[in-house]
Amino acid sequence: MSVTTPQRVLDGKYRLEDRLGEGANGVVYRALHLGLKKSFAVKLLQEGSLDPGSLARFRREAEALGQLRHPHVVEVTDFGIDTAAGDVPYLVMELLDGQTLADLCRARGPLPVEQALPLLASIAEAIDAAHAGGVLHRDLKPGNVLLCPGADGAWLVKVLDFGLAEIVGMGCEPPGEESPADGRLTATGALLGTPLYAAPELIRQEAASRASDVYAFGVIAYELLAGHPPFRGSTRDVLDGHLEGAPPAPAPLGEPLPREVWEALQEPLRKDPAARPSTAGDVVRRLRRAGRRGARRRWWAAELPRRVGLAVLLTALLVFAGSVQSWPFLVRIDHRVQDLRVRWSPSRPPDPRILLLTLDEASLEDGAPLDERADEIGATLTRVLDAGARGVAIDLLLPERWSEAPGFSDLVLRHRERLTLAAASEPGGRVVGTGCIAGLTATALGPEAAAGLFGFVNLEEEEDRVTRTGRLRFRDRAGTLRPTWAAHAVRGLETPVEMLPNRFWIDGRIDGTRYARISWRDVPATLERRPELFRDRLVLVGGDFPEDRHAVPQRSGVLAVSGLTLQALLVDTIAAGMPVREPPRTPFVIAQALLLGLALTGLLCAPRLRPAVLGVGAAVLAVFALSFPAFWWAGWIFPVSLPVLFVFCGVNLVLALRRWLPPAPEVSR
């Protein structure tokens, strides 16, 4: 409630009406401007005579305050000296209705960081604006901050009394007395400001500076967050605390401030002025960042276990779905990717020990039909083996009539350990090609040795009719494992196949066009002139006809090659130890699950989803890109379609889940 006082007119312009309050640097009245008929707040700073130097200083400081315009600074509209009352300086300010920050602190105690920061930000704007205008406050304290009700229910902050401590030369009250304005201890001697908020350099009687105001602002921030100033007790205790003591860590309501906020709060309270933040706004920015970091840390502590659990659950569901369900379209995608790897990989020369003898149209056009050439072919191949060949493998389903040919029978009986013949299993299960060993030849060999001559030439084409894989063994109707033609023929290269996996990828890096080849019609002449060409070679004999073509991935693309060339690629791949291989299933699934779990955890925990999604997408592309050199140099085939599908499904599930999960607090820069 205002206190009436006898009406008094200042300089014939302002009639003092109500006494609004009293502070250490003057008395405040409500005053009516007689000309404008508008009310203002008038502060009578000090009664008594002022020397000319003090009057000049007052005018200089008052003019500076009058030029200070800011939404959070109480506006000084006029100033003067009331000579009628004995040279009393006065300032005229806008009239505001509200309570001081000191009143708010007493009424509500410590404020949460999120409530204190808007008040501190407004005070900091006022301080920095004044500093930019060359004005120091010198007496910052909660009693000099007015909180006016705003239209939206928020406080409108106004900082009072900029520069008045210097104008009136505060500090004339006895030590230990309390100021009626805010109930706080005042200083002694020439100390400018209240001890509770005084910077160490002011206590040491050094000049005030911007850093002094930043220190006082730090004390105000401490009091808002802690509920009390950092140093309390007698005047001497307070002064000693500012000079030498470390402010205690606040624990409002028994709960310590977040570690990050406490670290930021100590920065404006440093004893060395140069070590403090340069502006009050910088203090607020650091506190705001610290508050958000603290909120982020608490969010992590609460949300991380839950989100990791969700990521593990999603990963388990996706991996389970991928393991129990066959997805043909994914297989097709992986095959296309593998074809690209082959196409972009460095080529590899074929095994020089493999020699192809091709029965083409040119070889057959001048001679008898194949059915009638058993003796000729048998005798020629006997000469090839006698020339030092490691073995001969015939990639032809030989007719039954050959069993009666002495030349072919001689080849079989003399070189059965180095001979491979072709058999095939038809869709109905009937085996063809074995009829070429019958009669006396079969009797001489015995059933087991006769059956041991054959390997199955059946191939496994994919849905797109491209052959990418081969086998070492097939299981017949009786459940017995029978070797494939390529697995049987590779014995001539002394390659152990017992420990190799049954199913394997054909090494498309082998350039199938570079195998050494001799047309059948040129074989006799070659045996006469250069028999050494056959020495230590595995000789593969087969047809090369336009109607017998098979698509295989090669560096120049998916090519149509002869059946003999395809079998040569199978033999070459086996002889090289099957260098093209997939990772072991169990470790790969485990690694895939771990990476997927990490990706989903990152997506669930990332403060911002877009960068996280882009990061996961980049990681998927990187894995896809790295799968190419992994194949080129090491022969590893990493499936990419299923991991990509997992990531795609996982991202969509995460997008749905994040709508129901609390977002992470933002941390400003």
Length of the chain: 669
Extended strands (E) in 201-321: none
CA distance 369 to 435: 18
- Strand ranges inside 338-425, DSSP E: 354-359, 391-395, 419-425
Please name the residue ranges forming H helices in 42-108: 52-67, 101-108
Burial of 202: CB neighbours in 10 Å, binned 0-12, 13-18, 19+: buried
Separation between Cα atoms, residue 189 and residue 174, nearest integer Å: 9
Buried b / exposed e along 488-498 (16+ C-beta atoms within 10 A): bbbbbbebebe
Strand partners, 78: 92
CA–CA distance from 481 to each of 42, 219, 233, 506, 659 (Å)?
Answer: 110, 88, 96, 21, 57
For 107, 228, 253, the CA distances from 112, given in Å and listed in that order, are: 14, 14, 11
Task: Round to whole Å and give the CA distance between 458 and 429.
Answer: 12
Q: How many Å apart are CA 463 and CA 256, to the nearest integer?
A: 68
Name the DSSP class of 133: T
Within 457-608, residue ranges assigned H as helices are 485-489, 523-529, 563-575, 585-605
- Alpha-carbon Rg of the chain, whole angstroms? 48
**Max intra-chain CA distance, the chain:** 150
Q: What 3 state SS string does 457-478 have?
A: CCCEECCCCEEEEEECEEECCC
Whether 253 and 228 have beta carbons less than 8 Å apart is answered as no
Instruction: Identify the CA nearest to 356 among candidates 232, 495, 512.
Output: 512
Any idea which residues carry the catalytic annotation? 139
